[in-house]
A and B are shown apart, each in its own frame.
Chain A
Amino acid sequence: MDFAKLRHYLPEQDLMLLGKTPVVYHCQHFNLFLDQTIDDALGPTDGAELRLRAAHEAAYPLIKSVCAAFGASTPAERAHIAERLFSVMGHGTLQADATATGGQALGHHLHYGYAWREKYGERVRRLHPVDGFAAGYAAAAAEVSANLPCGSLVSKETSCIALRAPHCEFKIIPAATGVECAARAPVEAEEYLANTRRSFGGKHETQITEIADGLKQFTAGVAGDERGLVQAFGVLVTMHLTGYYNRISYDAVKEIQRVAPQSVGVLEDLLRESGHVCVFRTFGGILLSPEWEAMVGAPGEDPEQVVVGCLAIARALGFGHWTLAEFAPGKRLVVRTSSTYESADYLTRYGTATSPNEYFFQGAALAIMQLAHRVSWRSRPELTSEYYDELFRKGVPWTLKQTSCIACGDDVSEVIISAKD
């Protein structure tokens, strides 16, 4: 099974798909931060429930379409493909043994649990299981294997390595009411394409395109190791479902708007911060890697070249056709795009937004400006949590404004980063 052949990008939009399903690459720092943000906003019970439903809903059409692409015709074949797919995408090893009447799944080296234990295990005592994504995926995999509609089964993590268990276990049972997923048609390639705008270039377009193409070629061969984990660029990388990220983010915002509108700004700030986390850890890890040095050259002290590199990385990771509209060192950065993985999903799921809401795009643009000016790349710093705090938690010397947004019906999405007066 050559899963790499299923990966492709929407031409000129730099949005990535696996078969028909929109996907992007994100690291464990982003994944854990975003999940924690949702739990902080909604509480551990409702947050976990939303994450579980989002994972289930997003994973079902992916597994189904990949099984169809490989011509899997028996439950055993479909179960095998679902297991392999999970590992190839870097989420660990998940073996489900379930039928229409339920069953269980066993997880080893699950991306979320393993990464949480590595990052926080010695310092934080966690009270709730962390692998909502694997739980939802396990239910979806069992459904596809048994040829059931989405929502027929539910899954719950009963044992988790983040809670110091030796491995992760999931119980899968028939759903009481079902059909929750079936009510929402998947956002796939057609919807993705329909919600992009006419593509355009920017400054250094040729260079950005060349670097992005090289990175896309390099990442095409990246897949999970024997653990089902992808360890690259100093992070644990996953190929992940945009449907998952977008549902947990936007459903959480909608819920907070309903029950605690005074707190929406705080949640939006945290969703923006997820962009900082991603750019600092993943973009930074790529820029510091020998692979980058060999393909592009070691990053120097020219901030514009760091920005150019970051925009190429964003495209290769499947975030959209991010272009450099303006750059004045130390003063101003304008990033413009005809596509983001956020707006494509938002417009399909929620309709036109009333205010700019591409939070990840916003936060990432600000973090690119910060990385371009505040990191001494020649000294090859370690991208530690302490360094992150120094760069981002003590306040940044930039202001951020999203001036147009595809999700609002605009022709482009644009973020302007300016030096504070």
Chain B
Amino acid sequence: MGAEEELELRPANGCIKNLTWECHANLAALPGFLVSLTELGYVESAPLAQLRRFTNASGDEFVIVLTSGRCQVRLSYLTPGPEREQRARAILNDVLTHCRTAALVS
């Protein structure tokens, strides 16, 4: 089952149309979730209380609130308008699939 079938990804409050998307996914409960994101090429920014932020090489951010499982995909401003939703879904799908696979393996 793909992430987009399972999770309701919706536009979050944002200044530029469709750059920020969010959903709930309890990734933090999966073993090795931090390692998984690193393997996908994400670099972690300084954590803030219960918030973890990761940035990929394209400048997209993946943000998760550990206590609630609230996730945000913040796309790079360079992402063309018509591609934004699809790109957000692809990022979420990648992250979720990779984290779940890593959890199964461990």
Contact = CB atoms under 8 A, between A and B. Distances in A.
User: Do A and B interact with each other, yes or no?
Assistant: yes
Given A28-B15, A234-B14, A382-B11, A293 B20 contact: no
Interface residues of B, number: 22
A198 B57 CA distance: 50
Given A290-B72, A293-B70, A294-B50, A285 B65 contact: no
Interface in A369-387: 380-383
A295 B48 contact: yes
B20 to A, nearest CB: 7
A231 B72 CA distance: 14
A290 B51 contact: yes
Given A227-B77, A231-B77, A234-B20, A293 B15 contact: no
Interface in B1-28: 11-16, 20, 22
Interface in B41-76: 46, 48-51, 63-68, 70, 72
Interface string A380-399: 11110000000000000000
Nearest to B71: A290
A294 B11 contact: no
B44 to A, nearest CB: 14
Interface residues of A, number: 24
Contacts, number: 55
Interface residue SS majority, chain B:
loop
Contacts of B66: 294
Contacts of B14: 234, 382
A199 to B, nearest CB: 27
8 contacts: A28-B15, A227-B77, A231-B15, A285-B13, A288-B12, A293-B68, A294-B48, A294-B66
Interface of A: 28, 118, 214, 218, 221, 227, 231, 234-236, 284-285, 288-291, 293-295, 298, 380-383
Which 5 pairs, one residue from A and one from B, show the smallest C-beta to C-beta distance? A294-B51, A234-B13, A294-B50, A294-B49, A234-B14
